[in-house]
Amino acid sequence: MLELYTHPMSPCAQKVRIVLAEKGLEWTAHHVSLQDKENLEPWYLKLNPLGVVPTLVHDGRPVIESSIICEYLNDIFPDVDLSPGNPYARSQMRFWMKHVDVKLHPSCGTIQWPMVMRPALMEKSEEERNAIMDRVVEKPRRERQKRLVQFGLDAPDVADAVKIYRKTILDMEQALSQQAWVVGNRFTLADVCLVPYFQTLLQFSWTPLYEADCPRVADWFARCRERASFRQGVAADFPAEVMIELQDKGAAVWSKIAAHLE
């Protein structure tokens, strides 16, 4: 039995949902409200001591960290293989997966978090906000989120986050000049792990980060969106009215993102 503790807008949860869909697996969803900080409740921390989503529970045993979950699912259910056939290509796939985890994901969180999580926190008193933030398990994430609560997209973290996003896109454009997908000529976990971060750009109308001068990346994302796994694992959670609302919010603050591209 497969159970996934998930949230619709979490890129990490999205990539696991894509893998589940690619493999045609049946699973049970448990929604974790990040806005209400359910991820920091004792019951959830027993499953995932880091207090993040997603968490996969397979036959009663939890597996945490999204990239590890993706490789675990690929190992356990190998019929649809999302890993390249040769060791060198696998090393390249894992390089991209590590880049996502270490650099792109924190950068995405820096620019998405003020849009998604900050509004609800700003409705609380400063004392309540601090009490919630102090429960965040990992100190670097806790301190970054405190700055994002205080300053929003004017936080000092935003400049580097936008630059890392942009550098990732340029590196992808170069990789895609050599092959159809990010690693080789078939869809792999490298693509799975990157594509949710382009959903973030799409949902906030921040696609100018790649549309003007990275046509291969634009084509890659279009092909990813055409896959049934993307429709099932990502797009299904974003009905038209939700997308319109998010895109309007993102467009209103695009200048704060664009300022760091100059």
User: Which residues in the chain are classed under CATH 3.40.30.10?
Assistant: 2-76
Mean pLDDT of 28-47: 94
Q: Confidence band (pLDDT; 50, 70, 90) for 92?
A: very high
Q: Which two tokens stand for residue 56?
A: 């996969």
Residue 157 has a pLDDT of 96
Residue 133 has a pLDDT of 87
Residue 25 has pLDDT above 90, yes or no: yes
Residue 86 has a pLDDT of 94
- Cα 67-72-77 angle, rounded to 5 deg: 130
Tokens 């998930």 sit at which residue?
Answer: 6
**Is 37 or 47 the better-scoring residue by pLDDT?**
47
> Tens digit of pLDDT for each residue in 105-114?
999 999 999 9
Residue 245 has a pLDDT of 95
Tokens 């986050």 sit at which residue?
Answer: 161
Residue 35 has a pLDDT of 85
Residue 51 has pLDDT above 90, yes or no: yes
Residue 262 has pLDDT above 80, yes or no: no
Residue 27 has pLDDT above 80, yes or no: yes
The domain 2-76 is placed in CATH, from the list 1.10.3720.10, 1.10.8.60, 3.40.30.10, 3.40.50.300, at: 3.40.30.10
> Tens digit of pLDDT for each residue in 165-204?
999 999 999 999 999 999 999 999 999 999 999 999 999 9
Residue 219 has a pLDDT of 99
87-261 CATH: 1.20.1050.10
Phi (first) and psi of residue 50, to 5 degrees: -80, -15
Instruction: Give me the percent of the chain exceeding a pLDDT of 70.
Output: 100
User: Taking all residues of the chain, what is their mean pLDDT, rounded to a whole number?
Assistant: 96
User: Which residues in the chain are classed under CATH 1.20.1050.10?
Assistant: 87-261
Within the chain, where are the H helices?
11-22, 42-47, 66-76, 87-99, 105-116, 118-122, 126-133, 139-151, 157-176, 189-194, 196-203, 208-211, 215-226, 228-233, 240-252, 254-258
